[in-house]
Amino acid sequence: MRSQHIDWSLYRSFLAVMREGSLSAAARALGMTQPSIGRHMDALEQTLGVTLFIRAQGGLTPTLVATEMLDSVEAMAAAVQQAARVASGSREDERGTVRVTASQMMGGEVLPALLTQYREQHPQVTIELVLTNKSEDLLKREADIAVRMIRPTQQALLAKRLGRVDIGMYAHQRYVKTHGLPKSLQDLRHHTLIGSDLDPTIGALAQQIGLPVSRDDFAFRTDSDLAQLAALRAGMGIGGCQMGVARRDPALVPVLPDVMVFSLDMWLVTHSGLKSNKRVMGLFRFLSEALGRYAQSSLRSS
């Protein structure tokens, strides 16, 4: 490496090229011109003393070095965004941006209504919501607050258990009208089942209650929780759903409710270094109470 000087604008352009696949697309994404992006790539290669892209008539092809750099530059981008959020919340009031991450189900079905309530009370707070079933790394400040269904183990995190969320099996009334309901676990093999594709979570949960199904038994497979819920609501078959979500839709009928119930603990997590940040802790306290009430509504006995 010829220089250790870091010009973020060059790495920002590099990241855009890697994400978008071409100089022109990167220029559009950043609101720049294609020649400017090209000059940035030339300057970055000269600074690092390596070739990042093979240039040909068909466009740019990233080299192995560029591919190996990508994760580090993604982390740089996350750090820059976190610095901006810290700066935005450095005043004494609660103004600024809070980045929240949650699973697809929680982020798509539960949090929007709660965050709407919070925004009505705190219009000066900007909220970024990331829907992913992967755990964003709070230690690297990829998010400020996380809603998780597994207990975090890192000591630098502030975690609060909000309660238990029960997951039952359901079918839409249209499916039940046509196909009926299974009377036992073994009867499930004669029904259309909705489940995951590559994600092993459902299989692990099924083992908890001795559910006799595997990936091959799912007639509709997707790792998207929201797609599974959409298929369930469409009447495609029988699938799992958080009870707190299912109870909002009277057309969803419980399936074998006495035996087919899975449970997950829900945790609210933030970085311990943010305990003095008013905008983050304000939302943390609000979600702690609101999601605690949601957890109560998701229990089988409620």
Reported as a single tens digit per residue, the pLDDT across 168-201 is 999 999 999 999 999 988 888 889 999 888 877 7
- CATH topology for 166-262 is D-Maltodextrin-Binding Protein; domain 2 (3.40.190)
98 pLDDT above the threshold of 70? yes
CA proximity to 108, closest of 231, 269, 226: 226
2 pLDDT above the threshold of 60? no
DSSP state of 106: I
What is 8-80's CATH number, 3.40.50.620, 3.40.50.300, 3.30.565.10, 1.10.10.10?
A: 1.10.10.10
What count of other Cβ atoms lies within 10 Å of the Cβ of residue 231? 19
- Sign of the CA dihedral with 251 first, then 254, 255, and 260 last: positive
Q: Which helix (H) or strand (E) holds 82?
A: helix 64-88
Q: Which long-range contacts (CB under 8 A, 24 or more apart) does 79-83 make?
A: 79/140, 79/141, 80/8, 82/141, 82/142
Mean pLDDT of 111-117: 96
What count of other Cβ atoms lies within 10 Å of the Cβ of residue 184? 8
Residue type, 149: M
pLDDT class of 4 with cuts at 50, 70, 90: low
Q: Is residue 136 within 8 Å of 130, Cβ to Cβ?
A: yes
CA distance 224 to 29: 27
CATH 3.40.190.10, the chain: domain bounds: 87-163+265-297, 166-262
Taking only the tens place, the pLDDT of each residue in 125-161 is: 999 998 887 765 555 567 899 999 888 877 678 899 9
What is 87-163+265-297's CATH number, 3.20.20.70, 3.40.190.10, 3.40.50.1220, 2.60.40.1220?
A: 3.40.190.10
264 phi and psi, to 5 degrees? -135, 140
Q: Which long-range contacts (CB under 8 A, 24 or more apart) does 91-94 make?
A: 92/278, 93/124, 93/278, 94/122, 94/124, 94/125, 94/278, 94/279, 94/282
Angle in degrees, CA 213, 215, 220, rounded to 5 = 105
250 to 91, 167, 174, 246, 263: CA distances (angstroms): 46, 16, 12, 8, 22
Taking only the tens place, the pLDDT of each residue in 9-65 is: 899 999 999 988 889 889 998 999 998 998 999 999 999 989 999 887 767 889 999
pLDDT class of 206 with cuts at 50, 70, 90: low
